[in-house]
Amino acid sequence: MPITDELKKTLTDPTPLYALAGAGDLAYEKLREVPGKVEALAADRKGAQEKAGARLQEAQAKIAEAQAKVTETVTTLPTDFKALQERAQDFALQQVGRAVELAVKAKETYDELAERGKVVVERTRPGTPAEPAVIDAEIIEDDSTAPEPQPTPKKSSRTRKDATGGE
């Protein structure tokens, strides 16, 4: 078929025009539904506003209750504060006692370490006799009874095949 025939068929085919008309009709149909949807949304908005107003009133009531509780707590605070202050002072005194105990223990440990260091310094100072070394007689042997060192065997330059008579 020649190209001109195909071109005539393509240009005379009404299918693309029909598709365009169908898309326009669908758009018109959907746009006609928009006013009904807008009215429904407006009605829903009114209901949501009413619910929000009720929730706001509930929240305001809860805030008023919370403020009353805070006011009550603040008015009772001075009596509670005095008891709390006494407990804090008792606790502080206990901690001071513990700190003194720890300081005494630290001083005792420090003194013990100083005494130990003094002994070490005196022991290692030149001119003072050192402690005799303990020698284990089994470890040190007389050189005359020591066995002669054995020579290490030399490696053969022959390979294993050579030693077995191979190639």
Each residue's pLDDT, cut to its tens digit, for the chain (167 residues) gives 678 888 788 778 778 778 878 888 888 888 999 998 988 888 888 888 888 888 999 999 999 999 999 988 877 766 667 788 888 999 999 999 999 999 999 999 988 898 888 888 888 877 765 555 454 545 444 555 555 556 555 555 555 555 555 54
With 0.75 as the threshold, say if the pTM is over it. no
- pLDDT given at position 152: 58
Predicted pLDDT of residue 167: 45
Q: What is the 3-state secondary structure (H, E, C) of 1-59?
A: CCHHHHHHHHHHCCHHHHHHHHHHHHHHHHHHHHHHHHHHHHHHHHHHHHHHHHHHHHH
CA angle (20, 26, 32) in 5-degree steps: 140
Amino acid 123: pLDDT: 82
Please report, in angstroms and rounded to a whole number, the separation of the first and last CA atoms in the chain: 84
